């Protein structure tokens, strides 16, 4: 059997789902884009999308919900300067494309037309980071239900204090096709799965919670017995730790962040401030600081959409550009920002493969993929041993960030009090308060234990949500403010 090059194969799959059933072909796309480009616009594109998703949830020992949905549509965009005109429709037809094209042409300067040379069709450079499978079909419905029931049995068998178990399983098959006025054609077939688990424990009238889970761009068979057992161990352990947690102290102190998911603080407090749109507008705390020191020595931060099978990875971004491994901060020096096409053009730089949109009904903007800090040379035991009095935050819940100032507030969902280099007891109600740029400068020890999160992150920006990844090694940060309950 002869297989086609992955990029060609993805284009064929996308066309079979998004063009052929509606009587559309390449000549129709070129015609619509030509009508838009005939007016004075800098960029124009068509973004077709087909999404099939399924979800199952278990609570109180029974599978309470099972959902299945299909969505498809097309977004039509024209960009002139820093102005964007956008129209979308769930009706994929030549008539709706013509209507949308007529709408977005209004952005052109004074409605003037110009003669346009037909763009030569080109296939976008791409990567092959995950299999183009339909993850929904990788397990049958009865096996999916049995998987959730097994999660509950294992959690309840772990400890008699487990009072309630809630588990969810989700799978998505997402196919996108990008047609640009410059002749570029690109497509992606994006599988995505996630298993989530929340455990509530109860003892002497006190109830506490612990959560775990993971996923990525692969099939549901990933969730084998070993993976499920690890999630159960993490969730039950976190809940039991919180059950015996004491009130968290407050004040300025040394804080150690654990590896992996605590990188969500890095994502929120620093990552958003390195997105191109905020910096072009001068509204980020990092605006105009490329080439300057913005963090302690040893701090290197990347956004990398090229890691195989990761939740935040993409073969192409949502403008058809190949994903990339972008070094944002290197040894404390700011190297650059994450860019989509429009902001890159206006800032005189190249796109970085970070244009993302929630769906065909949304415009793209600069967004993170997998954002993480590289490892240093200290062992996590050495970092803990260095603390006279302070907090070890091993897991995080929600938080808030002001992009302009970089100030953040984050709640630790699992944390421990440390004295004289020893972890003494868990604490509850710890809140970290600070400034992202200042926080980076106060990193005094970087662990050798860098890891990525388990695949659970979803990032929100301007009303749009996209899957992302985070990661970091253990970090010691000096002089961070902790709001406690003690």
> End-to-end CA distance of the chain, in Å?
68
- Higher-scoring residue by pLDDT: 199, 8: 199
Strand order in the sheet with 301-304: 333-334, 325-330, 301-304, 370-373, 469-472, 451-452
> What is d(CA 102, CA 33) in angstroms, rounded to the nearest whole number?
11
Mean pLDDT in residue range 160-180: 98
Q: Give Cα separations from 361 to 301, 364, 388 (angstroms).
A: 31, 10, 53
Which of 102-119 are b and which e, b meaning 16 or more Cβ less than 10 Å from the residue's Cβ? ebbbebbeeeeeeeeeee
> What is d(CA 136, CA 70) in angstroms, rounded to the nearest whole number?
12
| Nearest of 411, 403, 397, 410 to residue 461 by alpha carbon | 403
Q: Which long-range contacts (CB under 8 A, 24 or more apart) does 11-14 make?
A: 11/123, 11/177, 11/185, 11/186, 11/187, 13/132, 13/175, 13/187, 13/189, 14/48, 14/50, 14/175, 14/176, 14/177, 14/187, 14/188, 14/189
Q: Which residues pair with 451 in a beta bridge?
A: 472
Query: Is a pLDDT exceeding 70 seen at residue 116?
Result: no
Q: Give Cα separations from 99 to 37, 106, 243, 404, 473 (angstroms).
A: 15, 12, 59, 39, 51
Query: Is a pLDDT exceeding 80 seen at residue 196?
Result: yes
User: Which letter does DSSP use for residue 369 in this model?
Assistant: S
Q: Which residues contact 18 (CB under 8 A, 6 or more apart)?
A: 24, 48, 49, 50, 72, 74, 92, 175, 177
Query: Is a pLDDT exceeding 90 seen at residue 90?
Result: yes
| pLDDT tens for each residue of 262-287 | 999 899 889 999 999 999 999 999 99
Band of residue 1 on the pLDDT scale cut at 50, 70, 90: very low
Backbone angles phi, psi at 398, to 5 degrees: -85, 175
> What is d(CA 44, CA 50) in angstroms, rounded to the nearest whole number?
20
User: Cα angle at 454 between 241 and 382, to 5 degrees?
Assistant: 60
Measured from the Cβ of residue 61, the count of other Cβ atoms closer than 10 Å reads 12
HEC profile for 84-121? Answer: EEEEEECCCCHHHHHHHHHHHHHHCHHHCECCCCCCCC
> Whole-prediction pTM value?
0.94
Q: 């069709």: which residue's tokens?
A: 121
> What is d(CA 344, CA 337) in angstroms, rounded to the nearest whole number?
9
| pLDDT tens for each residue of 448-480 | 999 999 999 999 999 999 999 999 999 999 999
- Higher-scoring residue by pLDDT: 127, 180: 180
| pLDDT tens for each residue of 18-36 | 999 999 999 999 999 999 9
- Higher-scoring residue by pLDDT: 37, 137: 137
User: Which letter does DSSP use for residue 322 in this model?
Assistant: B
Query: Is a pLDDT exceeding 80 seen at residue 297?
Result: yes
Assess contact for 414 and 238: CB atoms under 8 A: yes
The whole-angstrom distance between residue 300's C-alpha and the CA centroid of its chain comes to: 19
Show the DSSP H helices in 299-442 as ranges: 341-347, 380-385, 436-441
Q: Which residues pair with 469 in a beta bridge?
A: 370
> What is d(CA 230, CA 314) in angstroms, rounded to the nearest whole number?
27
| Nearest of 463, 440, 69, 56 to residue 265 by alpha carbon | 440
Give residue 3's pLDDT. Answer: 54
Mean pLDDT in residue range 209-234: 97
User: Which letter does DSSP use for residue 259 in this model?
Assistant: S
Q: Which residues pair with 326 in a beta bridge?
A: 303
> What is d(CA 187, CA 15) in angstroms, rounded to the nearest whole number?
9
What share of the chain in percent tops pLDDT 90? 86
| pLDDT tens for each residue of 373-429 | 999 999 999 999 999 999 999 999 877 888 888 899 989 999 999 999 999 999 999
Give residue 238's pLDDT. Answer: 96
160: left (phi over 0), alpha (psi -120 to 50) or beta: alpha
| Nearest of 35, 11, 317 to residue 187 by alpha carbon | 11
Assess contact for 454 and 424: CB atoms under 8 A: no
Give residue 183's pLDDT. Answer: 94
| pLDDT tens for each residue of 320-352 | 999 999 999 999 999 999 999 999 999 999 999
Give residue 120's pLDDT. Answer: 65
Q: Give Cα separations from 300 to 304, 372, 480 (angstroms).
A: 13, 9, 20
Show the DSSP H helices in 53-200 as ranges: 94-104, 141-158
Mean pLDDT in residue range 294-313: 98
| Nearest of 357, 23, 2 to residue 190 by alpha carbon | 357
Helices 225-243 and 141-158 cross at an angle (nearest 10°) of 40
């Amino acid at each position: 059997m002869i297989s086609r090059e992955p990029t060609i194969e993805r284009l064929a799959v996308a066309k079979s789902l998004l063009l052929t059933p509606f009587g559309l072909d390449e000549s129709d796309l070129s015609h619509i884009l030509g009508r838009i480009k005939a007016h004075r616009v800098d960029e124009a594109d068509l973004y077709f999308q087909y999404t099939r998703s399924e979800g199952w949830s278990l609570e109180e020992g029974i599978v309470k919900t099972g959902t299945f949905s299909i969505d498809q549509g097309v977004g039509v965009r024209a960009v002139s300067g820093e102005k964007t005109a956008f129209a979308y429709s769930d009706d994929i037809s030549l008539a709706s494309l013509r209507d949308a094209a007529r709408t977005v042409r209004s952005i052109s300067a004074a409605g003037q037309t110009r003669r346009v040379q037909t763009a030569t069709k080109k296939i976008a450079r791409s990567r092959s980071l995950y299999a183009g499978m339909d993850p929904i079909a990788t397990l049958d419905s009865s096996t999916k239900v049995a998987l959730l029931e097994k999660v509950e049995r294992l959690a309840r068998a772990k400890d008699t204090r487990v009072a309630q178990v809630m588990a969810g399983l989700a799978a998505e098959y997402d196919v996108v096709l990008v047609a640009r006025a410059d002749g570029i054609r690109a497509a992606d077939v994006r599988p995505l799965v996630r298993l989530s688990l929340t455990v509530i424990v109860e003892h002497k009238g006190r109830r506490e919670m612990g959560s775990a889970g993971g996923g990525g761009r692969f099939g549901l068979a990933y969730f084998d017995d070993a993976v499920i057992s690890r999630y159960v161990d993490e969730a039950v352990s976190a809940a039991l730790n919180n059950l015996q947690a004491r009130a968290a102290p407050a004040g300025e102190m040394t804080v150690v962040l654990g590896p992996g998911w605590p990188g969500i603080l890095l994502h929120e407090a620093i990552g958003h401030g390195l997105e191109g749109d905020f910096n072009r507008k001068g509204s980020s705390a990092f605006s105009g600081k490329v080439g300057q020191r913005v963090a302690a020595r040893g701090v290197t931060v990347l956004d990398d959409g090229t890691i195989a099978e990761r939740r935040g990875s993409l073969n192409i971004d949502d403008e058809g550009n190949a994903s990339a491994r972008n070094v944002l901060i290197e040894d404390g020096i700011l190297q650059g920002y994450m860019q989509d096409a429009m902001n890159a053009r206006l800032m005189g730089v190249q796109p970085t493969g970070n244009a993302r949109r929630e769906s065909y009904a949304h415009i793209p903007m600069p967004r993170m993929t997998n954002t993480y800090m590289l490892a240093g040379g200290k062992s996590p035991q050495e970092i803990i041993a260095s603390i006279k009095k302070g907090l070890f935050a091993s897991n995080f819940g929600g938080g808030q960030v002001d992009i302009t100032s970089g100030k953040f507030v984050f709640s630790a969902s699992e944390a421990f009090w440390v004295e004289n280099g020893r972890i003494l007891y868990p604490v509850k109600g710890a809140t970290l308060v600070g400034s992202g740029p200042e926080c980076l400068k106060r990193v005094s020890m970087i662990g050798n234990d860098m890891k990525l999160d388990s695949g659970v992150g979803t990032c929100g920006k301007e009303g749009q949500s996209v899957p992302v990844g985070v990661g970091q090694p253990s970090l010691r940060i000096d002089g961070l403010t902790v709001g406690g309950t003690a």
